[in-house]
Amino acid sequence: MTSAPQPVPSARFVCRSYMAVVLVPEPPLLDWVAGIEERIRGAGRFLVGSPVVLDLSAVKLSNSAIAHLVAELDQRGIQVMGLENMDPASAGRGLPPLVRASRGATTTFDVPRTPAPAPAPKPAEAPRPKPSTLLLDQPVRSGQSIFFPDGDVTVLGSVSSGAELVAGGSIHVYGALRGRAMAGSGGNTRARIFCSKIEAELLAIDGYYMTAESMDKDLRERPVQAWLEGNELKITALD
C-alpha cells in the first residue's frame, strides 16, 4: 500500500544585506598586499575577521591569480567573502562568489585612529602634508563650533557669544573674542590665545580653563594674550 508522500520540509529562503569592507587591489599586487599588511599592523585591525569583498575593477587577473590573492589575504587573517567587478566567465569553484553592490548602499568611513603602540610605524596615510593653520575670514557666529585639532586657528573677524573654537594649536582672533576659545587641545601646553578685544566667556589651554568671572576686570575689551604657566592660565594685555 502506498502511503501519502511525506511533505518535504521546506527550506526558508531569506534575503538579507550585510555591510562588508571593500578592498580595491591595485597593481603592483605584491606592493598592495604589503600595504594591507602594514595597515593591519597600524590602524586596520578591524579588517581581520570582518567580511571583506574584493573589487577587482583595477586589475586584470586570471582565475588562478585571483585564487592566489585570496589565499595571500587569508594567510594574513583577511577573509574574502565575495568578488566584485569580475568577469562572470572567470567565476568558478574554489573562488568566493561574484557579488554586486546594491545601488546607493555604499557608505565610506575613516579608519578609526587608534593610538599606535610605541615601536609601531606611523599608520599608512596619504603622503599629502596636512594643513596646520585654519584661516577663517568670516566672523564666527553664535552656535557655531570650530574644531581643528591639527594646528592653529586664525579668525579675521569676531567670535560671537555662544560660539566656540577648539584648536590643537594656538588661537588668533583679529576681532572681538566673545565666545569660548580652547587652545592646545590634545596636550599642547605651549599653545597660546591671542585676540584684539577680550570679552570671552571662557578661555582654556590644554584643558586648564578660566571663565569670564575670574578674568581681571581691567583687561576687559583690551587686546590680550593668554598662555599656560605650569597649570595656571595667565593673561596679559598686549597694548
Partner 1 sequence: MGKVVVVTSGKGGVGKTTSTAALGAALAQCGQNVVVVDFDVGLRNLDLVMGAERRVVYDFINVTQGVAKLSQALIRDKRLDRLALLPASQTRDKDALTEDGVQSVITSLRKMFDWIICDSPAGIERGATLAMRYADEAVVVTNPEVSSVRDSDRIIGILDAKTVRAERGERVAKHLLITRFDQARASRGEMLTIEDVLEILSTPLLGIVPESEEVLRASNLGAPVTFNNPNSGPARAYFDAARRLMGEEIEMTIPTDKLSLFGKLFGRRAA
Residues contributing to the site for partner 1 (CB under 8 A): 138-139, 141-144, 157-158, 160-163, 176, 178
| Residue among 176 and 203 whose Cβ is closer to partner 1 | 176
* Residue 165: CB minimum distance to partner 1, A: 14
| Residue-by-residue DSSP string for 50-105 | SEEEEEGGG----HHHHHHHHHHHHHTT-EEEEEES--GGG--TTSPPEE-PPTT-
Q: Provide the CB-side half-sphere exposure for 65 (13 A, CA).
A: 12
* Residue 177: CB minimum distance to partner 1, A: 13
Quote the cell numbers at residue 143. 552656535
| Residue among 158 and 170 whose Cβ is closer to partner 1 | 158
* Residue 175: CB minimum distance to partner 1, A: 9
Judged by phi (left if over 0) then psi (alpha if -120 to 50, else beta), residue 187 lies in: left
N-term to C-term CA, the chain = 111
* Order of strands, sheet of 98-99, starting from the edge strand that comes earlier in the sequence: 21-23, 51-55, 79-84, 98-99
CA-based nearest residue to 73, from 42, 43, 28, 29: 29
* Residue 213: CB minimum distance to partner 1, A: 18
d(C-alpha 225, C-alpha 191), whole Å: 11
* Residue 178: CB minimum distance to partner 1, A: 8
* Residue 6: CB minimum distance to partner 1, A: 56
| Residue among 80 and 176 whose Cβ is closer to partner 1 | 176
| Residue among 54 and 173 whose Cβ is closer to partner 1 | 173
| Residue among 159 and 182 whose Cβ is closer to partner 1 | 159
| Residue among 144 and 225 whose Cβ is closer to partner 1 | 144
For 58, 67, 91, 96, 136, the CA distances from 88, given in Å and listed in that order, are: 16, 15, 5, 12, 52
